[in-house]
Amino acid sequence: MLSCLRGLIALSASNQDSRKLPNSSDSTLVGEKCEKQSINESRKPSAVFYNNVRLIGSKGAGLCNVLVQDGQVKWIGGVDEIRGLPVDVEKVDLEGRWLGPSMIDWHVHSKLAAHYNHRVHLETVKSVEEVFARMREALTDPRYDREDLIGVDMRNGDWPDNDLMNRVNLDERVSSTRPIFLFYNGYHSVVCNSVGLEKYGEKAEGSGILLEHDAWPLTHQLGKVGDEVMDGWVQTWAENAASMGVTEIVDLEIDFNIRDWRRRCINGFDTLRVNLGIYEYHFEDAIKQGYKTGDVVDADGLIKIGPFKMVTDGGLGSQTACCHDPYPNTSDHGIMNDSPGKIKEWTRKATEHGFRLAIHAIGDQANTICLNTMATNPIPPLEGSTIEHAQLLVLDEIPIFTRLGLTASVQPVHLVDDRETCLKYWPGREHRAWALKSLADVGVKMKFGSDNPVAELNPWEAMAVAISRKRQGGLPLSEEQAVDIHTAWVSSTSNGKASIEVGDRADFVLVDKDPLQCNADGLRSIVVHGTILGGRWTFRK
């Protein structure tokens, strides 16, 4: 069963810091733990009275009023009901639109996402030759004038000429003088030309394809920009998220992000709530500072410590997801990055120190190993711990999720982005790929996300795919694994509920129709008229 564990003896914890991954040994990355402070007075939400609004998920479809005070829902009443309004309340007529809990994206990578629009997009190319042609055009395109020329999002499921993708052909057909790096969808592998390898300390030999731990450092070293530029890119990205109705993200960037996010907040960032993932490389420094999941690290309470993250196997786009069956026409089962012993040690340690878990497992063998290993720990994972992706499952093992209280953090759009790749590399197992209904049927809680920039940050498209198993106008993948709109909706809302309730945070989305009455096309056509975080607008159409 453990065929994916090849090479794990060499993949000990001690060698992982040799790849120049970000670490927090420099105290400037950590900073002092933020003392409890009151919300900045200039951003403190005043009382707001929303009237003439319809509530998503409410039993009645009539108009009502909602009072928000101190960032929380104070009361909800009929359209003619007005009680206990503060003297200085702001009154907002929502003109009969639909108000509901805002959206959350449970899995993003903020810096990679901010870089995305400054790199060559390759998601639509259909062959290696087309990749080379696109990159030759980019050599003289002023949009990509930095030294490193980076292409992202290659999807090779239906390419006829995969064997041409290597270092030698990149040198000969694109450039041998400018560093070039091509990432497959998912960022688990990258193809480099010779000068690119040499620039970052690798030998210019072999295929030039770096996998998993060998590839990850490049995601952080390539195209680095100054803090001011990056913060501007992140702000633009966050504003786009707000325009989609999103008020909260789980940022799983492989970095110790406390310094960056605190700096952004000091400089005025207030667009999203951010939960920061902590990796092995930063864990010891985090606990020395006294951090655990849920701790606030900025004065306004927007930035919190999120889960402890492990990336136990690879990805489908790189054919490194660890599977029980070998990939077609090979003896290769993929790559398991961590041994069962290490998974057991770190999940136990993180839980004991108060961290929720976020355990990446894509292949079915990776999921088997992670679920069964965690089941042997002396204490269960903390509530809200997740298997990230849970992409290919052994259906009989799904009840382990419920026994351990694990949430499945899934990215529905991956199932259409990777449809051809799935059909090519997981033939005959499509009914176990993104098995959303099988998870829902046994009561497994799900959280939807995007893995942005791997997929677009668009919760409406994610829900549309979850209930239809296809993109608009496209072919479906295992339609029997579609979920109902209620399941998709509560997997996407920031409060995990269908509607807003008294006592909830005042994090809302305002839309033109009731999502719970929509089919996939209806979800895609929803217009977001406004996004409200803690009682203040972060987007207003």
Q: What is the tens place of the pLDDT at every residue in 14-60?
A: 334 434 556 544 433 344 444 433 334 445 558 999 999 999 998 76
Task: For the chain, state the CA radius of gyration.
Answer: 23
Instruction: Please report the pLDDT score of residue 360 as a whole number.
Output: 98
Instruction: Please report the pLDDT score of residue 42 as a whole number.
Output: 46
Q: Is residue 83 part of a domain?
A: no
Q: Is residue 147 part of a domain?
A: yes
d(CA 480, CA 478): 5
Q: Is residue 371 part of a domain?
A: no
pLDDT > 90: percent of the chain: 83
Q: Is residue 164 part of a domain?
A: yes
Q: Look up residue 493 and give its DSSP letter.
A: B
Which CATH number belongs to the domain containing residue 186 in this structure? 3.10.310.70
Instruction: Please report the pLDDT score of residue 288 as a whole number.
Output: 94
Q: Is residue 208 part of a domain?
A: yes
d(CA 501, CA 417): 36
Q: Look up residue 336 and give its DSSP letter.
A: B
* E strand segments, 7-139: 48-55, 64-69, 72-78, 90-93, 98-101, 103-108, 120-121
Q: What is the pLDDT of residues 308-365, one digit of tens each?
A: 999 999 999 889 999 999 999 999 999 999 999 999 999 999 999 999 999 999 999 9
Number of domains the chain contains: 1
Instruction: Please report the pLDDT score of residue 34 as a whole number.
Output: 42
Instruction: Please report the pLDDT score of residue 80 as a whole number.
Output: 85
Q: Which amino acid is at 94?
A: L
Q: What is the 3 state secondary structure string of 498-522? A: CCCCCCCECCEEEECCCHHHCCHHH
Cβ-contact 66, 94 below 8 angstroms: no
- For strands 72-78 and 64-69, give the pairing: antiparallel
∠ CA 233-251-119, nearest 5°, is 40
Instruction: Please report the pLDDT score of residue 413 as a whole number.
Output: 97
Sheet holding 209-211, edge to edge: 120-121, 149-154, 180-184, 189-192, 209-211
Domain boundaries, position 148: 112-221
The H-assigned helical ranges of 331-484 are 340-352, 364-374, 399-404, 414-417, 419-425, 436-441, 459-468
Q: Is residue 151 part of a domain?
A: yes
* pLDDT tens across the length of the chain (541 residues): 444 544 333 333 333 443 455 654 443 334 444 443 333 444 555 899 999 999 999 876 689 999 999 999 999 999 888 887 888 899 999 999 999 999 999 999 999 999 999 999 999 999 999 999 999 999 999 999 889 999 999 999 889 999 999 999 999 999 999 999 999 999 999 999 999 999 999 999 999 999 998 988 888 788 789 999 999 999 999 999 999 999 999 999 988 789 999 999 999 999 999 999 999 999 999 999 999 999 999 989 999 999 999 999 999 988 999 999 999 999 999 999 999 999 999 999 999 999 999 999 999 999 999 999 999 999 999 999 999 999 999 999 999 999 999 999 999 999 999 999 999 999 999 999 999 999 999 999 999 999 999 999 999 999 999 999 999 999 999 999 999 999 999 999 999 999 999 999 999 999 999 999 999 999 999 999 999 999 999 999 9
d(CA 498, CA 448): 14
Residue 473, C-beta contacts closer than 8 angstroms, at least 6 positions apart: none
The H-assigned helical ranges of 142-288 are 167-173, 194-199, 216-221, 227-243, 258-266, 280-288
Instruction: State the burial class of residue 345 (Cβ atoms within 10 Å of its Cβ: 0-12, 13-18, 19+).
Output: middle
